[in-house]
C-alpha cells in the first residue's frame, strides 16, 4: 500500500535542542478508539492477525503516546535554564563585589593621603548607614531577616547555585529532544511484536510502494491517529529510517541508564 498524499499534514518541525525531563501538560482527554475496519486494514497490511490481547496492548501503548506527546513541546529547554542560572550567579557575584568594594575603609592616613582616608571614612559611614536602614526596612516589609540575615541568605546562595548547576547537568543527561515520545512508541510496539512472535524487522526498499511488515504496521496504525500525532509519513523509506533511529536512540538511553545505576552507590551489590 502506498503512503497517502496527505500523510504529512499536521506535522510540525521539531526542535533538536535538549529539553529537561519535566512533564508539562499532556493529552489526558485523547483516547485511541480505532474501528474494527481500522484493525482489519492494519492486519491486512501487516500480514498478521492480531489477537484481542495484542490489540489491547497496542491500544495501551498508543494512549500512552497520546498522553505524553503533547507535553513535549512545552518542556523547558536545558540551555534556557542554564542561562537563567548564569544570570542569578552573575547578580550574586555583583552583590558581593559591590559589598566588598564599599566595605573597605583605610584606618589611617598621613600627608597627602590624609584627605583620602578622611573621604573613605565618611563614605564608610554612609555605607553603614544604608546597610542599617536597608536591613531595617527588609525586616519591616518582609517580616523576615535584617541586614545580617540578608548576608546569611546571600552566603547560602553561592553554594546553592553550585549545587543547582550540578543537578541541572545531571537532569540534562536525562533530558530529551522533541520526538522522544514517538521513539518510545516505536520501541514499545517493537517489544510487543517480539513478545507475541510477530514480525518486527525493518528493511528499506527502493520501491516506494513496498514496506516490511513492521513498517506497514506503524504506517497503518498512524493513519488512525489525529494528524498532529503522525510522524515520518513522507514515504515508507523515511518511516523505516525513523524507526531504525528511534530504536537506536532508546537502546542507547536504556544502556546509559543501566550503566548509571550500576555505577551508583545504591546500585552496587
Residue 6 has pLDDT above 50, yes or no: no
Q: Is the dihedral of CA 68, 73, 74, 76 positive or negative?
A: positive
CA distance 198 to 97: 67
**What is the residue whose three cell numbers read 542599617?**
132
Say yes or no: 53 and 184 in one domain. Answer: yes
Say yes or no: 159 and 246 in one domain. Answer: no
Residue 1 has pLDDT above 80, yes or no: no
Q: Which of 148, 173, 198 is the last residue of a domain?
A: 173
Is 209 in contact with 2 (CB distance < 8 Å)?
yes
pLDDT the model gives residue 189: 97
CA distance 257 to 269: 17
> Greater confidence, 9 or 258?
258
Place 28 in a pLDDT band, splitting at 50, 70 and 90: low
pLDDT the model gives residue 88: 94
Say yes or no: 66 and 180 in one domain. Answer: yes
**Residue 64 falls inside a structural domain:** yes
Residue 25 has pLDDT above 80, yes or no: no
Mean pLDDT of all residues in the chain? 83
Residue 185 has pLDDT above 90, yes or no: yes
Give the angle 131-133-136 at the CA atoms, nearest 5°. 110
- What is the number of domains present in the chain? 2
Residue 98 has pLDDT above 90, yes or no: no
Residue 35 has pLDDT above 60, yes or no: yes
Residue 12 has pLDDT above 60, yes or no: no
Q: What are phi and psi of 177, to 5 degrees?
A: -105, 155
pLDDT the model gives residue 27: 58
The Cα-based distances of 107 to 25, 84, 119, 121 in angstroms read 61, 41, 11, 8
Residue 252 has pLDDT above 50, yes or no: yes
Tell me which residue range forms the domain holding 109: 78-173
Say yes or no: 92 and 62 in one domain. Answer: no
Say yes or no: 86 and 167 in one domain. Answer: yes
Say yes or no: 44 and 97 in one domain. Answer: no
pLDDT the model gives residue 112: 58
The Cα-based distances of 204 to 78, 208, 216 in angstroms read 35, 9, 12
Say yes or no: 70 and 189 in one domain. Answer: yes
**Residue 6 falls inside a structural domain:** no
CA distance 41 to 188: 21
Say yes or no: 100 and 137 in one domain. Answer: yes
CA distance 76 to 53: 37
Beta bridge partners of 176: 19
CA distance 266 to 269: 8
The one-character DSSP state at 143 is S
pLDDT the model gives residue 36: 96
**What is the residue whose three cell numbers read 517480539?**
194
Query: For residue 235, which of 205, 208, 206 has the smallest C-alpha distance?
Result: 208
Mean pLDDT in residue range 172-197: 91
Q: Which of 125, 157, 173 is the last residue of a domain?
A: 173
Amino acid at each position: 500500500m502506498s503512503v497517502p498524499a496527505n500523510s504529512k499534514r499536521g506535522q510540525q518541525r521539531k526542535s533538536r535542542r535538549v529539553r529537561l525531563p519535566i512533564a508539562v501538560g499532556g493529552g489526558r482527554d485523547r483516547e485511541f478508539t480505532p474501528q474494527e475496519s481500522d484493525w482489519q486494514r492494519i492486519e491486512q497490511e501487516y500480514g498478521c492477525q492480531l489477537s484481542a490481547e495484542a490489540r489491547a496492548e497496542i491500544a495501551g501503548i498508543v494512549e500512552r503516546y497520546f498522553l505524553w506527546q503533547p507535553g513535549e513541546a512545552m518542556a523547558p529547554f536545558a540551555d534556557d535554564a542554564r542561562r537563567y542560572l548564569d544570570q542569578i550567579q552573575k547578580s550574586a557575584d555583583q552583590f558581593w563585589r559591590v559589598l566588598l568594594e564599599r566595605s573597605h575603609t583605610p584606618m589611617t592616613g598621613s600627608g597627602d593621603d590624609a584627605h583620602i582616608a578622611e573621604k573613605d571614612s565618611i563614605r564608610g559611614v554612609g555605607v553603614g548607614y544604608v546597610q542599617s536602614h536597608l536591613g531595617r526596612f527588609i525586616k519591616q516589609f518582609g517580616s523576615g531577616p535584617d541586614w545580617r540575615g540578608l548576608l546569611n541568605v546571600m552566603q547560602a546562595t553561592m553554594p546553592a547555585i553550585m549545587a543547582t548547576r550540578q543537578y541541572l547537568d545531571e537532569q540534562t543527561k536525562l533530558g530529551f529532544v522533541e520526538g522522544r515520545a514517538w521513539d518510545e512508541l516505536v520501541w514499545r510496539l517493537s517489544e510487543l511484536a517480539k513478545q507475541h512472535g510477530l514480525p518486527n524487522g525493518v528493511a528499506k526498499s527502493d520501491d516506494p510502494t513496498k514496506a516490511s511488515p513492521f513498517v506497514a504496521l506503524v504506517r497503518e496504525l498512524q493513519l488512525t491517529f489525529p494528524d498532529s500525532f503522525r510522524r515520518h509519513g513522507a514515504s515508507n523509506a523515511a518511516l523505516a529510517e525513523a524507526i531504525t533511529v528511534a530504536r537506536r536512540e532508546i537502546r542507547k538511553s536504556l544502556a546509559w541508564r543501566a550503566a548509571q545505576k550500576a555505577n551508583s552507590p545504591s546500585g552496587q551489590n
